[in-house]
Amino acid sequence: MNHKLQKVSQWMKENDIQVSFITSPENVFYLSGFLSDPHERLLGLAIFQDEEPFLVCPSMEVQDAKNAGWNYEIIGYSDIDQPWELIHNSINKRLSHVQKVAIEKEHMNVERYEAITYLFNGATFVPAEEKLRKLRMVKDEYELKTIRRACELADYAIQVGCEEIAEGKTELDVLAAVEYALKKKGVNEMSFSTMVLTGANAASPHGTPGLTKIKKGDLVLFDLGVVVDGYCSDITRTVAFGDMDDKQKEIYDTVLQAQLKALEACKPGVPCSEIDLIARNHIREAGYGEYFPHRLGHGLGISVHEYPSLTETNSLLLEEGMVFTIEPGIYVPNVAGVRIEDDLYLTKDGVEVLTKFPKELQTIK
């Protein structure tokens, strides 16, 4: 078994869990190497303490799972099969008595929950997600290498976006050019819906790009990410189109200094809350506290939002090998919206910033 599956089996032994049945595509990928988007169909990975694991997937994906390097049993089911019966048979071949089953309670829907409780009548069901979130928090070398590539492409996307900015172009014009350029580089998927926001729209942390035209004196905010081999990047840059007034410059500089201070403080053993508060207090002291309405950052990997969560109350300690974002922002309605977001890797004594597009205010003439 691979290292990640072994850790799950170990956890199951410690907690007297006989079966883990993992159903979210992200965790199935993390543990098996098989990246699948099964749509509404069932995808599952069964893990045991000592017996061999098995995958269950639509039969048309069996070959893909093998190609992904999965060397154990695969149950492929057709659209007229009953996958739960097949799962039951495969588990019964390995174990006769199941008392405790771990499932992802947040992911499993009621229909599937009813099916699995029917199969393991009388068993207790415990959540698996917290353990998996902790395992996924620290990245191995392969994961880091993959995220690095996703970050390089995110930098490239920002560069394309900046070159595309011109008087009268809409947010969606620029967005389309960015995604077109990425597709030509072989990028199949973005981490989330790309954001290009300008003027008043940039003052909304989660705005929707539309037909607003870019005009001189506006800030343009890009927030985007690229998926490479199942791993995400996530970058935000805010650039100026033409000259900025003093207020806009002050807001930009406050966000930048907050971001740099937080980056400098990141080290193994420091609580997440401390990092959030370093940036938050800098913004508060500048008088913009109420305009920074979200956490400082989040882990990323297979999901664009995962552990650790950098909030002002999370006492979790940073650990070498974590990959997360630092993304302070100030959004003052009708004045300016600025966010600066980097992805970073926590080393044994500090951080390596993986997104490298310049952060000093870039002015596009």
Distance CA 19, CA 248 (A): 56
Shortest separation between residue 21's beta carbon and Mn ion, angstroms: 31
Q: How far is the CB of 119 from Mn ion (least distance, A)?
A: 39
Size of the residue set binding Mn ion (CB under 5 A): 5
Distance CA 37, CA 24 (A): 10
x/- contact string, 236-255, with Mn ion (CB under 5 A)? x-------------------
Window of 2-10, 206-214, 258-266, 322-330 that interacts with Mn ion by CB under 5 A: 322-330
For the bound state, the minimum distance from the C-beta of residue 222 to Mn ion, rounded and expressed in Å, comes to: 9
Q: Report 268-307 residues binding Mn ion (CB under 5 A).
A: none
The 3-class secondary structure across the chain, one letter per residue, is CCHHHHHHHHHHHHCCCCEEEECCHHHHHHHHCCCCCCCCCCCEEEEECCCCCEEEEEHHHHHHHHHCCCCCEEEEECCCCCHHHHHHHHHHHHCCCCCEEEECCCCCCHHHHHHHHHHCCCCEEEECHHHHHHHHHECCHHHHHHHHHHHHHHHHHHHHHHHHCCCCCEHHHHHHHHHHHHHHCCCCCECCCCEEEEHHHHHCCCCCCCCCECCCCEEEEEEECEEECCEECCEEEEEEECCCCHHHHHHHHHHHHHHHHHHHHCCCCCEHHHHHHHHHHHHHHCCCHHHCCCCCEEECCCCCCEEEEECCCCCCECCCCEEEEECCEEEECCCEEEECEEEEEECCCCEEECCCCCCCCCEEC
To Mn ion, the closest distance from the beta carbon of 151 in angstroms equals: 12
Nearer CB in complex with Mn ion: 254/325: 325
Q: Mark 327-356 with x for binding to Mn ion (rule: CB under 5 A) and - for no binding.
A: --------------x---------------
Q: Which of residues 79-98 bind Mn ion (CB under 5 A)?
A: none
User: Tokens representing 274?
Assistant: 């401390």
- Of the two residues 5 and 157, which places its CB atom closer to Mn ion in the complex? 157
Does residue 325 interact with Mn ion by CB under 5 A? yes
Query: Least CB distance from residue 317 to Mn ion, whole Å?
Result: 21
Q: Residue 123 or 316: which CB sits closer to Mn ion?
A: 316
Question: Rounded to the nearest whole angstrom, what is the least distance from the CB of residue 178 to Mn ion in the complex?
Answer: 14
Which among 27, 34, 21, 30 has a CA at the least distance from the CA of 65? 34
171 binds Mn ion (CB under 5 A): no
Which residue from 155, 179, 218, 223 is in contact with Mn ion, where contact means CB under 5 A?
223
Shortest distance, position 365 Cβ to Mn ion, whole Å: 26
Q: Judged by CB, which is closer to Mn ion: 90, or 362? A: 362
User: Residue 134 CB, nearest distance to Mn ion (Å)?
Assistant: 20
Of 58 and 207, CB closest to Mn ion: 207
- Is there binding between residue 234 and Mn ion (CB under 5 A)? yes
Q: Residue 212 or 236: which CB sits closer to Mn ion?
A: 236
Nearer to Mn ion, 46 or 340 (CB): 340
Which chain residues interact with Mn ion by CB under 5 A? 223, 234, 236, 325, 341
